[in-house]
Amino acid sequence: MEERRAMPLIGDDAPAFVARTTMGDISFPGDYSGKWVILFSHPADFTPVCTTEFMTFASMQDEFRALNTELIGLSIDSIYAHIAWLRTIKEKIDFKGMKGVEVLFPVIEDLKMEVAAKYGMVQPNASTTQAVRAVFIIDPAAKVRCIMYYPLSTGRNLDEIKRTLIAIQKADAEGIATPANWQPGDDVIIPPPGSCGAAKERVESAEEGKYCLDWFMCLRKDK
C-alpha cells in the first residue's frame, strides 16, 4: 500500500519542532507564545515563483506583525542556500516595484524533511524532493486554524492569506462569521440560532445595525 504522510488538520495542535533557520535556532511553539504564526513552505530556493512570494511576504511583514502574527518559511534546502538566495533577492531582484527587499523572518533549513513531514508538506505525486506551497495559520494556543495548499506552478495570493487571518481573528473576537468575498469593513454574519424561540427573537430584536434576510440568516454592520 502506498505510504501517505500525515498532516495536522484544522483544530489540531500544530506539531512542535526545533529547527535551524536564517535567523538562528527556533523552538516552535515555545518561542511564539502569545503570537499567531503563518508557517509556509516553498519548493526550492533560487526559483522564480518562490522569489516573488518571498519578496511579497517580506514587504508585508509589518502588516502581519500589526496583526500579532509572525512569519516562518521553510524549504528542503540548506541554510547556506537560503542565505545566498535571500542575499540575491536583496541585491539583484526588482519585481513590481519591490527592490532591495530584505527577508527578516526565519527560513527553516529542512534537509532531512523533518518539519515538512510533520506538516504533510511533501506530497509524492507532486515531488519527492520538494515541498509544495503549503500555508498553515496557527493561533496563539498553537492550534491549526487554516490550511492552504497550492501546486508548484501557482504563486500564492498574499492578500487572501492576510484576509483569511483577519477574518479568523475577527470571528474569535466577536463571535461572528464572514460571508463569501468578505473584506475588512464589510457586513458580517450573526451565527444562526439554535432553537425556534431564539430564531423568532433574533428576527424581531432591534439590535443596532442588524438586518435579517430570513430566520437563519442575519447580518450586522461591521463594528
Phi, psi of 188 (to 5 degrees): -120, 160
pLDDT score recorded for residue 98 = 97
Give the number of C-alpha atoms closer than 13 A to the C-alpha of residue 32, restricted to the C-beta side.
Answer: 29
155-197 pLDDT tens trace:
999 999 999 999 999 999 999 999 999 999 999 999 876 555 5
The CA-atom distances, in angstroms, between 62 and each of 31, 57, 65, 152, 162 are 19, 10, 5, 27, 12
The domain locations on the chain are: 17-156, 175-223
pLDDT score recorded for residue 68 = 98
pLDDT score recorded for residue 3 = 45
**pTM for the whole thing?**
0.91
The CA-atom distances, in angstroms, between 29 and each of 5, 17, 79, 126, 166 are 21, 8, 21, 29, 21
15 and 90 Cβ atoms separated by less than 8 Å: no
Taken as a whole, the chain contains a residue count of 223
Annotated binding site for substrate: 133
Is 50 a known active-site residue?
Answer: yes
| Overall fold of domain 17-156 | Glutaredoxin (3.40.30)
pLDDT score recorded for residue 223 = 78
Query: Distance between CA atoms of 144 and 80, rounded to whole angstroms?
Result: 30
Q: Which residues of 35-67 are buried (b: 16+ CB within 10 A; e: fewer)?
A: bbbbbbbbbbbeeebbbbbbbbbbbbbeebeee
Residue ranges, the chain, pLDDT below 50: 1-4
Annotated binding site: 133
From 50, 146, 212, 218, the catalytic residue? 50
The CA-atom distances, in angstroms, between 171 and each of 4, 39, 161, 222 are 33, 21, 15, 12
43 and 133 Cβ atoms separated by less than 8 Å: yes
H or E stretch at 197: helix 196-204
| Overall fold of domain 175-223 | Antioxidant, Horf6; Chain A, domain 2 (3.30.1020)
